Amino acid sequence: MDLAALIRNVPDFPKQGIQFKDITTLLLEPAAFRYVIEKWQKILEDNPPDCIVGVEARGFIFGAALAHAMGLPFVPARKKGKLPAATIGEEFSLEYGVDSVEIHVDAIKSGQRVVIVDDLLATGGTVAAVARLVQRLGGEVALALFVVELPPLKGREKLAGIPIHCEVEFMVE
């Protein structure tokens, strides 16, 4: 299936010079959404994780669907201040500042194998921060799954040591 053809490019969003890869157009095609989830389920079937962590916000869509399909717990990784109970947080750098991501302290148990899911791998900062949270809680990041990767932005470098699987690559600057 040609997933790349279903992903909309939005020039100059959220700021001038960015070529935003919008996966919401892929979600309008149920067969494509199902294809991604079933493919990831097949990748994980021989060595299933203990839980799926979805990164806010679009990682929730794919992560929750994958967790449901596999009968696994879903753990949301959210922006600072959005989770209602006790959390741990991790800061990470952006091109234009610093951000933070949090997970509930009781969401991941020591020794659990975790798969992190997000829609897009760009610079890798957000998912690297989520991986550090998983490790601080005693979990092991078994794999990171993405729909889209932008290889020129070198996100894999920040995720060194974590196996990565992406469905589509776009060579953007």
| Enzyme catalytic residues | 58, 95
What is the C-alpha to C-alpha distance for residues 62 and 59, in angstroms, rounded to an integer?
5
Task: Tell me, rounded to whole angstroms, the distance of Cα 27 from its chain centroid.
Answer: 16
**For residues 23 and 59, is the Cβ–Cβ distance under 8 A?**
no
Lookup: tokens for 27: 């979600």
* C-alpha pair distances (Å), 90 with each of 93, 136, 137: 10, 10, 12
Q: Are 156 and 125 in contact (CB under 8 A)?
A: no
In single-letter form, the type of residue at position 62 comes to F
Phi/psi of residue 41, each to 5°?
Answer: -60, -40
The pair of structure tokens assigned to 170 is 């776009």
